[in-house]
Amino acid sequence: MAIKKMDAKAFIEEKIDYLKESVGREKAIVALSGGVDSSVAAVLAHKALGERLQAVFLDDGLMRQGEGEEVKSVFAKLGIDLSIKDVQREFFDALKGLIDPEEKRKAFRDTFYKALGIVVKESQAKFMIQGTIKADVMETKRGVKTQHNVLEQIGVDPSKYGLKILEPLVELFKPGVREVGRVLGLPAEISERMPFPGPGLATRCVGECTPERIEIVRKAHVIVEDEIKKAGLKPFQAFAVLLNDRGTGLDAEGNRNFGNIVVVRSIESKDALTGTATDVPMPVLKKISERVVAEIPSVTRVLYELTGKPPATIEYI
């Protein structure tokens, strides 16, 4: 549903009733990722359930820089107490040695629900609120890729994890979600944020996701977002990707370095179903390239991706 401004209020009221009726006197939990969808779902659920909602941030080690603390402070301002649970080891253990994109997605999903199952048991919540949106469901149905949150399509039985899932945003595309976020009073730093996938930086790390390789993607992402913003560009998504290949370069002392290759991806899209590469001005790309190789010594090459969607997908796994 492409939601119009005047519809957002009615949508919110309808979903508040739905959440109240579904959860009754029980407790619910929402896992925040820092992305727009889960944040909007959390604020909506908090409006419906108040103290009966527990918000958690599973720190899986695959988030953007400073994400946990930033989300915590934004939600504190909205009166929502967020607990951060460090589950980095579980995720890196599960991803160890995996190269195949779908195997990585499945490992992420299984670890995510296992970790969440433990938090849910501790909290005694019976329901979990998820920010699944329409595009997630469509992509999984079409067999493009296994979005981690489309449970029935991927054969996950939530009751195995002690959860009943509620998905209040599942009729909306991204612009509708942003509109609901704005009407709910979510600050622009969250509601206008670029989409960020559930499996986080793992979707931008081709090959094995070790803590060291993820750190390269994380640092490169900061530079890409920073320079794109400084240039006044507002693409649908812009990010860095680490390839599973190497290229020769020279380090600061002039020694040969068979280093990492980073791809810069910037894409224009309305609903994430199709997209085209942004016409990023060359001086901006050069600045990104200079900063990435200077600030991340293991990187020797930076490329800009021109492929649209289709044929490529937006993320790399």
- Pick the closest to residue 68 from 89, 84, 88, 53 (CA basis): 84
Output 173 or 257, the one with its CB closest to ligand XMP. 173
DSSP 8-state symbol, 79: T
- Which residue, chain included where needed, has tokens 């929502």? 80
Nearer to ligand XMP, 39 or 237 (CB): 237
CB of 111 to ligand XMP, least distance (A): 13
The alpha carbon torsion through 295, 298, 303, 309 (nearest 10 deg) reads -100
For ligand XMP, give the closer residue by CB, 181 or 195: 195
Q: Are strands 276-277 and 299-304 parallel, antiparallel or unpaired?
A: unpaired
- Is 34 or 198 the residue whose CB approaches ligand XMP more closely? 198
Classify 203 as helix, strand or coil: helix
User: Minimum distance from CB of 179 to ligand XMP (Å)?
Assistant: 17
Is the torsion defined by CA of 305, 307, 309, 313 positive or negative?
negative
Query: Taking the complex as a whole, how short is the minimal distance between the CB of residue 217 and ligand XMP, in angstroms?
Result: 14
Q: Which residues bind ligand XMP (CB under 6 A)?
A: 136, 139, 144-145, 147-149, 195, 197-199, 203, 237, 272, 309, 313-315
For residues 184 and 40, the answer to whether their CB atoms sit within 8 Å is yes
Nearer to ligand XMP by Cβ, of 60 and 139: the residue is: 139
Q: Pick the closer one to ligand XMP by CB: 272 or 302.
A: 272
**Least distance (Å) between residue 286 CB and ligand XMP:** 26
Q: How far is the CB of 82 from ligand XMP (least distance, A)?
A: 19
Nearest-approach distance from CB 252 to ligand XMP, in angstroms: 34
Distance CA 139, CA 174 (A): 14
Distance, in Å, from the CA atom of 33 to the CA atom of 197, rounded to the nearest integer, reads 9
Q: Identify the three-state secondary structure at position 109.
A: helix
